[in-house]
Chain A
Amino acid sequence: MREISASLISQTVEELCIRACYHLGDDVVKLLKAAREREDSPFGRSVLDQIIENIKISGEKSLPLCQDTGMAVVFIELGHDVHITGGSLTEAVNQGVRRGYEKGFLRKSVLSPLKRENTGDNTPAIIHLEMVEGSKIKITAAPKGFGSENMSRLKMLKPSDGVEGVKKFVLDTVIEAGANPCPPVIVGIGIGGTMEKAALIAKKALLREAGKPNPDPETAKLEKELLEKINATGIGPQGLGGRTTALAVHIDTFPTHIAGLPVAVNMQCHAARHAEAIL
């Protein structure tokens, strides 16, 4: 058994929350710049210029990329041979979120759903735990803003709806979302499993390097087709019209039941933030 202290986990989560909110991955920056080169719409070009300028200013002036520093979604892959000492995993993660949002001057956006009373420290985090082989812990912090989260949808399609039904649902979701999720977006899609599994794999698909195709050629083909169809809608950057509505479509699949075809669409704004560390 390898021992890892709860305090090391807290410290790591704290750093990851701050890093994710201040630094956008090179993969996303590259896609934004390529989109700017291709964009025909003057509104679209102006918006993409501002988004690229924002990344520069965020770095130079040490300001979060976006004021919606999100709800802290934390993915943990915990090795079987790890023993956590000095506290529980859940509390260690929440302590990290609490400190990261305070020290990083990040907005505390979490509240009770009906009374709307702010918890004051952006906890609790949304924790997704997976047990894996080995003696390490992989932690990924993915702060999720709600402009895009609010436009995410899940539908239990019928098996007879097939792949055409999936395509229609994805396109309907993107069109209904319009300007709200801050396009250009990355569209995470989960197909199969159960209701919650579809939603979870849609969210996990957003952690993939932006624009990297699914290793399965059939799924990769569907990603490419959907990206083209989404960019043909004309919604464009910020919904003001243009060729760039999505930077990437990421699909993941999971076996499902003979009676079902669950599909989840998790919308991600252009501030596609995530940071990871392995302990």
Chain B
Amino acid sequence: MVKTLKMPASADELSRLKAGDTVHLSGILLTGRDAAHKRMIEYLNKGIPLPFNLENQGIYYTGPCPAGPGKIIGSCGPTTSSRMDSYAPRILDLGLKVMIGKGQRSPEVIAAMVRSGAVYLAAVGGAGALIASCVKKAEVLAFEDLGPEAVYRLEVENLPLIVAIDSQGNNLYEIGPAMYKAD
């Protein structure tokens, strides 16, 4: 069954998502990957307020291709989330509720997710064109000098995702492969 999720979502809606659920997500997402995370942490360390509010928001780990003529955005599939693991617990403490990327997360990130009631959704790596066709609006929100690593504000419609780790810490990257491992 496909569940729909409108971002920003309530804590109640997020708590109902279970690892393995298919989700079609619509609404607002921010983007951010390596360089944007590094800068966010530098700002926090220096006591500088972030130029955007992360409370109840979702971050999509992506660095899009440049938009061609007449296009809203270029290809924009997910990047490997584990590179954001060292930053993610502090970002979750700011109220971030949804992370979207690909691949396994660290135990520290999962513990922070359970603490804050956040979910981690997997997008299909390499499906950059399909995902771009779900983006209805894109604008640079902050850190424009980072080029493809800038923070964008996206409006998306029916972005296809799978709940990889839910707010109770159930992890499809553990459960799924165990089901199909041949002895």
Binding site for B on A (CB under 8 A): 40-41, 43-44, 46-47, 50-51, 53-54, 57-58, 61-69, 105-109, 116, 118, 147, 150, 178-180, 182, 232-236, 238-243, 269-271
Contacts and interface: CB of A to CB of B under 8 A. Distances in A.
A270 B133 CA distance: 20
A62 B65 CA distance: 12
A108 B68 CA distance: 14
A235 B82 CA distance: 17
Given A105-B74, A233-B181, A179 B173 contact: yes
Given A63-B74, A180-B80, A234-B179, A51 B148 contact: no
A240 B122 contact: yes
A195 B182 CA distance: 33
Contacts of A179: 102-104, 122, 125, 173
B23 to A, nearest CB: 11
Consensus secondary structure, chain A interface:
loop
Contacts of B133: 57, 61, 63
Interface in B125-183: 125-130, 132-133, 147-148, 160, 162, 164, 172-173, 175-182
Nearest to A53: B130
A67 B180 contact: no
B129 A61 contact: yes
Contacts of B62: 67
Given A44-B180, A180-B82, A241-B179, 18 more contacts: A51-B124, A51-B127, A57-B129, A61-B71, A61-B132, A63-B65, A63-B68, A63-B74, A66-B127, A68-B128, A105-B67, A106-B66, A108-B148, A234-B179, A238-B124, A238-B125, A241-B172, A241-B178
Interface of B: 20, 22, 35, 62-68, 71, 74-77, 79-80, 82, 102-104, 122, 124-130, 132-133, 147-148, 160, 162, 164, 172-173, 175-182
Given A54-B128, A107-B64, A182-B102, A238 B74 contact: no
A236 B130 CA distance: 20
A51 B126 contact: yes
Nearest to B180: A234
Contact of A66 (B104, B128, B162): B128
Contacts of A182: 102, 125-126
Contact of B177 (A62, A106, A236, A269): A236
B177 A241 contact: yes
Contacts of B130: 50, 53-54, 57
Given A67-B74, A179-B104, A240-B162, A54 B172 contact: no
A46 B163 CA distance: 13
A43 B172 contact: yes
B107 to A, nearest CB: 15
A178 B173 contact: yes
B162 A43 contact: yes
B158 to A, nearest CB: 12
Contact of A68 (B22, B79, B173): B79
A83 B138 CA distance: 48
B126 A40 contact: no
Contacts of B122: 179, 238, 240
Contact of A150 (B80, B173, B176, B177): B80
